[in-house]
Structure 1
Amino acid sequence: MNNLAELPVTALRGVGEKFAQTLAKLHIATVQDLLFHLPLRYQDRTRVTPIAALAPGVDAVIEGEVRAADVVFGRRRSLMVKLQDGSGTISLRYFHFTAAQKNRFARGVRLRCYGEARRGAAGLELYHPETEIIGAESPDRPDTLTPIYPLTEGVTQLRLRGLIQQALTMLEQAGVAELLPAELLPAPLRYPLRQALQYLHAPPAGADLAQLAEGIHPAQQRLALEELLAHHLSLLELRRENAEVSAPPLPANAALERDFLSRLPFTLTGAQQRVCAEIARDLSQNRPMMRLLQGDVGAGKTLVAAMAALKAIGAGAQVAVMAPTEILAEQHRRNFDAWLAPLNIRVAQLTGSLKAAERRTQLAAIASGEAQLVVGTHALFQPEVVFHNLALVIIDEQHRFGVRQRLELREKGAAKGVSGRLQPHQLIMTATPIPRTLAMSAFADLDCSVIDELPPGRQPINTVAISNERRDQVVERVRAAVAEGRQAYWVCTLIEESESLQAQAAESTASELSEALDGVRVALVHGRLKPEQKERVMGAFKAGEVDLLVATTVIEVGVDVPNASLMIIENPERLGLAQLHQLRGRVGRGSIASHCVLLYGPPLSQNGRARLQALRQHSDGFAIAEEDLRLRGPGEILGTRQTGEIQHRIADLQRDAHLLPQVQRIAASPLLTEDLRRLLIQRWLQNKPRFAEA
């Protein structure tokens, strides 16, 4: 038990080989990994609130006696349980219930409930609260805050909490290795690691919930510093390796580029021209280009990527364009095909859902060099994909791919050079604007280019924030838009990190909207659909056969549908500003005025209100990113946890920007030996040996 970093999770009671595979999806392989799997947030279940003192939108524990339990029939059939304490009465409402559950709520039974009070038809209601019957044998209320952990399918909060309790007992006996010499830590953060972990998994009843929610407790900051350092060290290692390889120089083919530009119905903006020149300079060198291209939604990044591709194609080499989803890959294929086919350049496509015969045809065209540009998803990484002469890799929405995948694609690179195999150049694109200070730290191995100018003629998007209490009015707004021949998106957000829960929430919203909007064609798309089903739904939406698309944020809703002029985002307070701005950019793509409705759950915190206000005031993604950084909101600037790649377990680059100078100072210290560096990277990036979102 001495080394928890090497003790497998199967050493814990209740973890067999099969469940260990499920935990591996959360990057948990050892007992130490479990200890470093930290809560997303906390619930205070230590105090009972009198029913009369409940406030809408606030989670609380209540205790009372069941007065009645009846099935009621409204727009939806539900089980309504009336609960009473000495101060008042409240309704518990269940839309999904069984006969056994109804019988459990017999008159006179005493219940302890936990949930969020909301205004309903019968006054304050708790929807699907957690309940336990209070009897002589009932467990006492907890004396610590209840942690809520990131989950994956097949793992429940209850089971994970039980495992972490076992791990904490082992921690008490075995301790955990302190990898940072105390003298390297700033004085306020000289917090023993064991103590920090114990505190964060079980904060005492009086702990400052607001401080923990903001991630600024010294225990959180101590761990955030170590995690940022591990990522930074990993990046430095990556940069060192990149400096040792060669790439094929790609000189400009002026005639081909002139031909391409002359066919465009518009001219490039000044910002696009500047960035094209920066990329051209990199590509002419014999060192691999490693450039991050940032551009706001609709700034014309794809066109800049096409100009870069022409450099490689003009030099007789191939280009791979990688997108995170089949929907986005298909959109890129259409764009590149429309631009490049007139120049006799063949564009191939490689995705997971291709039929076997079509796949063979595409693989042959890639291997022979007949296909000069290949657009694909992660299918491009597969061993059977052999390029003839790959000299440039363009990656869109880079935060969806881990470095390991990028390196696999890089290994498929161009012909051999004097000092071994030449590596392809890399252009990495993101529509998530990143403040300069963060870009320098989070992408220390990349050069940055920014398209900070939008093409003329883009329609401004009118953004309004509306309380969920006025949901019916928003539904009517959708009906009116559809009646005018327009289309709309309805985006569901869910704070739990389980795809199945997100899918259920979206399904429930889609069925509720179908019922409310008679005659409106409603379709649903979420992360659990098969690629061909997603493709079919998105194709129907693009073709105008669907009026309202209900979607989760898990999937890329990046299809360009000019007729979609209305977007509703439910619970926007749960998302980062950058992600909200990204979602909003799906409308406003045609010549008609577009609207974005932020349907928030009241009451909004002061920070939540300021963040939604920032979104209403700014249409420039970079201004929004800076504002997000200033407000230190909970959103993640470099991608979302819902992508399946957990970017940071505890650190938040926006909130913890002030730690970055200290991270750089510690990384440069001779006190940090090679062994310590290796162990730090291993601890925080154990299944991702390099910086996972570089």
Structure 2
Amino acid sequence: MLPEPRRESALTQLRGVGPSLVEKLGRLGVHDITDLLFHLPLRYEDRTRIWPMGQLRPGQHVLLRGTVVRAQVQFGRRRSLLVKIRDDSGEVGMRLFYFNKAQQAALQPGVALQVFGEARRGATGLELYHPEYVLAATLEALPRLDGRLTPVYPTTEGLSQKKWRELMDQALQWLTRHGHLRDLIPAELRDRWQLPDLPAALNFLHHPPLQTDPDTLREGDHPCVARLVVEELLAHHLGLRQIRARTRAESAPDFYPQGDLSTRLLAHLPFQLTGAQHRVLGEIFQDLERPVPMLRLVQGDVGSGKTLVALCAMLRVMENGWQAALLAPTEILAEQHARNLQALLQPLGIDVVLLLGKQTRKQREPVLAAIASGQAYCIVGTHALFQEEVQYARLGMVVVDEQHRFGVDQRLTLREKGRQHGKVPHQLIMTATPIPRTLAMSMYADLDISVIDELPPGRTPVVTSVLSNAQRDSVVARVREACTQQRQVYWVCTLIEDSEELEAQAAEELYAQLSAALAPWRVALIHGRMKPKDKAEVMAAFQRGETQVLVATTVIEVGVDVPNASVMIIENAERLGLSQLHQLRGRVGRGATASYCLLLYQTPLSQAGKARLNTMRATNDGFQIAEQDLLLRGPGEVLGTRQTGEASFRIANLQRDQHWLPVVKEVAETMEQSYAESITSLLARWHAGDMNYGRV
């Protein structure tokens, strides 16, 4: 929950701000005047000179001045008001699709008009659609030109750029008048890195002088941008250091070898652990032998054997008489983990209990009783594991699968549920999304990091081919051949529009086409608009081998394991990021059979699309792919969807600003030693509603 804004910085102090505007600003995370000042422009426009209409080219954003020569309502597919404006060099059109009678009456021939917008080819030549405009009786009466660049702000429905600029002007006046915005980076540290003070940086970024190069602002090279980037990264880094320090100040049970459960488990397996698995397991065992809570992230590519390493660690906890819980992001994955763990643990005489949100009260009661009494040693579940009714007898360790699907707050809630007699459980976090070192250091600075960088022997790399959509017939023939060989196939359908409904429609069309083309083989469909129960049933039937081809949107879960599936086809592959493509490809190649990934693309292919698909064809190494993805797409794609509690940056861009991370680390250490009193204010400024650092 967001804190109440301080009274001296409440938005309602600004002229024209009432409850409706407060609600709109709140949608963008602007809750007080400080937030408003940190809401930086997306880009800047040059409105400092008038462009001759005769020299106008399509795609230009320009300021024009002229006289209205005619205005008429036109009727076509949509009603519109077309206003023709003329200057000494030529004529241009202004077209409004949304207009009222007052506007129509005001835009009469002879009126002087100043217009800013983008020129596009229209029905009557070059036209500006819904530009910003100002009317006056004569050209001389039009407003004076700006002496500085004009900011364009990220916005929401019902908030015009004109309103943003009015609000920002008032906010900057408030800053000058009251000076409430403390500079929380000490002057000696700012001077060392040649960073301006905060009020100067904010004034500059909202009102850049005319001679400023907009590219230096956009690319983060300007000292005023760097000033805010460093402060935001510093707040994030200090917050994670606080989490780490508070965690290390806690006590946890220490677990030394008390039996041979891990040895017996490994003896039953038809293979040996890789060197990387042994190394990471050694790091985990060292953590478990300390009386402080482990917080370790295990990164490993698809199929590198992270779950087996986690299970060996869980057995160390269980043989000490404590419980271990595995938290999965979806019910399909939780059920799969429970099945796999049960098969491995049954020979050791250990039962796995499964807790899911979809279970009935009758199904849940015996599970809850076994967890509360301590009879259940190995517990697998989804978010249901941290519901209020779940009481643990002795929770010694929590394993979190696919970290990026859970936020920091969710992990910590489960830790609090396991608190017993002043001790908290150890945490092991796993991810199959390889994260470049830069991002891992900044996004997970509260965690120790281990990497399983070796695949088990005998795994056949997936062969990746890139094919144009024109080769669909040969792809369908390949699918038929795979079905004939008793193999299974995923066919993933993606759309560029961010719409589950359209994506589901496209998947349904593809399902109908393939059902006809591949008869008598069975084709199934799974997409995001289906009920969870129906999705689970379709997936279970595919896992049992009852259907040969699964048409799916990108809802196929990370970690879903169908060893018999050997072909993955991805439609419109050029529209997906490398990390997502790599995760989808990881659904095949999970058995000993040769497996294939076919990337279908639409022509023409952009340079970036070509680079992504070539990378996929060239390597199966998830870490190489993640580094390349960071270069091509930026950190958002690499980290996946951010969940509750996971920090998102307002101003900093980890790809662009990574060179500041060593500086931030150094400044953080200096502030902890010499300026500790500023840290709480810094965290409150940047993370009031993001991460509850104080509580954790």
Q: For this structure pair, what is the TM-score category when the shorter chain's length is used for normalisation?
A: 0.7 to 0.9
Q: Name the amino acid aligned to 1:297.
A: V
Q: d(CA) in 2 for partners of 1:522 and 1:160?
A: 47
Deviation (angstroms), 1:394: 0.7
| Contact persistence 1:309–1:319 (CA under 8 A) | yes
CA pair 240-148 structure 1, distance change in 2 beyond 3 A:
same
SS in 1 for 2:413: helix
Q: Name the amino acid aligned to 2:430.
A: M
Matched, 1:566 2:568: yes
Match of 1:506 among 499, 503, 507: 503
Task: Give the match for residue 87 of structure 1.
Answer: none
Matched, 1:477 2:478: no
| Contact persistence 1:280–1:308 (CA under 8 A) | yes
Q: Name the amino acid aligned to 2:240.
A: L
| Contact persistence 1:321–1:395 (CA under 8 A) | yes
SS in 2 for 1:668: helix
Deviation (angstroms), 1:682: 1.4
- 1:426-441 to structure 2, matched below 5 A, reads 426-441=427-442
Q: d(CA) in 1 for partners of 2:216 and 2:553?
A: 33
CA pair 409-161 structure 1, distance change in 2 beyond 3 A:
farther
CA pair 133-191 structure 1, distance change in 2 beyond 3 A:
closer
Task: Give the match for residue 171 of structure 1.
Answer: 171
Task: Give the match for residue 673 of structure 1.
Answer: 675
| Contact persistence 1:188–1:218 (CA under 8 A) | no
Using the size of structure 2 for normalisation, the TM-score is: 0.74
Deviation (angstroms), 1:213: 6.4
* Superposed CA offset, 1:356-385 (max 9, x none): 222223222211112212122222222221
Question: Bigger CA drift: 395-404 or 644-653?
Answer: 644-653
CA pair 239-646 structure 1, distance change in 2 beyond 3 A:
closer
| Contact persistence 2:5–2:31 (CA under 8 A) | no
- 1:15-34 to structure 2, matched below 5 A, reads 16=19, 20=23, 28-34=30-36
Question: Bigger CA drift: 191-200 or 615-624?
Answer: 191-200
Using the size of structure 1 for normalisation, the TM-score is: 0.74
Q: d(CA) in 1 for partners of 2:632 and 2:678?
A: 31
Q: d(CA) in 2 for partners of 1:238 and 1:656?
A: 23
| Contact persistence 2:404–2:641 (CA under 8 A) | no
SS in 1 for 2:636: coil
* Superposed CA offset, 1:597-621 (max 9, x none): 163785635x665455434322212
Q: d(CA) in 2 for partners of 1:475 and 1:4?
A: 67
Q: Name the amino acid aligned to 1:509.
A: A
Q: Name the amino acid aligned to 1:604.
A: S
* Superposed CA offset, 1:261-310 (max 9, x none): 12222221111112112211221222222211111111010010110110
Q: Name the amino acid aligned to 2:262.
A: E
Q: Name the amino acid aligned to 2:322.
A: A
- 1:489-568 to structure 2, matched below 5 A, reads 489-490=491-492, 492=494, 501-514=498-511, 517=514, 519=516, 521=523, 523-526=525-528, 530-543=531-544, 544-545=546-547, 547-552=549-554, 556-562=557-563, 563=565, 565-568=567-570
SS in 1 for 2:617: helix
Deviation (angstroms), 1:349: 2.0
CA pair 217-134 structure 1, distance change in 2 beyond 3 A:
closer
Deviation (angstroms), 1:517: 4.5
* Superposed CA offset, 1:518-577 (max 9, x none): 626463423x65543443443344445473433247x744322331522416465663x4
Deviation (angstroms), 1:659: 0.6
Q: Name the amino acid aligned to 2:640.
A: T
Match of 1:401 among 402, 406, 410: 406
Mind listing any 5+ residue stretches in structure 1 that lack a counterpart? 72-111, 118-123, 150-155, 496-500
Task: Give the match for residue 300 of structure 1.
Answer: 305
SS in 2 for 1:492: coil
Task: Give the match for residue 7 of structure 1.
Answer: 10
| Contact persistence 2:508–2:525 (CA under 8 A) | no
Deviation (angstroms), 1:326: 2.5
Q: d(CA) in 2 for partners of 1:560 and 1:637?
A: 24
Q: d(CA) in 1 for partners of 2:236 and 2:431?
A: 20
Deviation (angstroms), 1:509: 3.1
Q: d(CA) in 2 for partners of 1:588 and 1:59?
A: 50
Matched, 1:238 2:243: yes
Q: d(CA) in 2 for partners of 1:560 and 1:480?
A: 22
CA pair 255-551 structure 1, distance change in 2 beyond 3 A:
same
Q: Name the amino acid aligned to 1:477.
A: V
SS in 2 for 1:371: coil
CA pair 286-655 structure 1, distance change in 2 beyond 3 A:
same
Deviation (angstroms), 1:216: 5.0
Deviation (angstroms), 1:642: 5.5
Q: d(CA) in 2 for partners of 1:229 and 1:180?
A: 9
| Contact persistence 1:5–1:32 (CA under 8 A) | no
Bigger Rg over Cα: 2
- 1:41-56 to structure 2, matched below 5 A, reads none
Task: Give the match for residue 110 of structure 2.
Answer: none
* Superposed CA offset, 1:160-210 (max 9, x none): 868755642442222344322344237776255456557767989998787
Q: d(CA) in 2 for partners of 1:341 and 1:160?
A: 64
Q: d(CA) in 2 for partners of 1:515 and 1:239?
A: 53
SS in 1 for 2:656: coil
Q: d(CA) in 2 for partners of 1:204 and 1:478?
A: 60
Question: Bigger CA drift: 129-138 or 366-375?
Answer: 129-138
- 1:292-441 to structure 2, matched below 5 A, reads 292-413=297-418, 415-416=420-421, 421-441=422-442
Q: d(CA) in 2 for partners of 1:204 and 1:561?
A: 60
Task: Give the match for residue 620 of structure 2.
Answer: 619
SS in 2 for 1:588: coil
Deviation (angstroms), 1:234: 0.8
Deviation (angstroms), 1:228: 1.2
Q: d(CA) in 2 for partners of 1:213 and 1:471?
A: 37
Task: Give the match for residue 462 of structure 1.
Answer: 463
Mind listing any 5+ residue stretches in structure 2 that lack a counterpart? 65-71, 79-115, 137-141, 176-180, 518-522
Task: Give the match for residue 153 of structure 1.
Answer: none
Deviation (angstroms), 1:159: 4.2
- 1:57-456 to structure 2, matched below 5 A, reads 132=130, 144=150, 147=153, 156=156, 159=159, 164-165=164-165, 167-175=167-175, 176-185=181-190, 190-191=195-196, 193=198, 218-413=223-418, 415-416=420-421, 421-456=422-457
Q: d(CA) in 2 for partners of 1:337 and 1:130?
A: 66
CA pair 209-303 structure 1, distance change in 2 beyond 3 A:
farther
Corresponding pairs, count: 627
Q: d(CA) in 2 for partners of 1:648 and 1:561?
A: 37
Q: Name the amino acid aligned to 1:503.
A: E
SS in 1 for 2:516: coil
CA pair 12-359 structure 1, distance change in 2 beyond 3 A:
farther
Q: Name the amino acid aligned to 1:652.
A: N
- 1:626-641 to structure 2, matched below 5 A, reads 626-628=627-629, 631=631, 633-636=633-636, 639-641=639-641
Q: d(CA) in 2 for partners of 1:130 and 1:479?
A: 50
Deviation (angstroms), 1:636: 3.4
Q: Name the amino acid aligned to 1:231.
A: H
Deviation (angstroms), 1:354: 2.2
| Contact persistence 2:573–2:599 (CA under 8 A) | no
SS in 1 for 2:399: strand
| Contact persistence 1:5–1:30 (CA under 8 A) | no
Deviation (angstroms), 1:453: 0.4
SS in 2 for 1:293: strand
Q: d(CA) in 2 for partners of 1:49 and 1:580?
A: 47
Q: d(CA) in 1 for partners of 2:13 and 2:540?
A: 45
| Contact persistence 2:288–2:294 (CA under 8 A) | yes
Task: Give the match for residue 594 of structure 2.
Answer: 592
Q: d(CA) in 2 for partners of 1:264 and 1:116?
A: 67
Q: d(CA) in 1 for partners of 2:491 and 2:406?
A: 26
Task: Give the match for residue 652 of structure 2.
Answer: 651
Q: d(CA) in 1 for partners of 2:120 and 2:647?
A: 27
Q: CA RMSD in A?
A: 5.0
Deviation (angstroms), 1:313: 1.0
Question: Bigger CA drift: 255-264 or 29-38?
Answer: 29-38
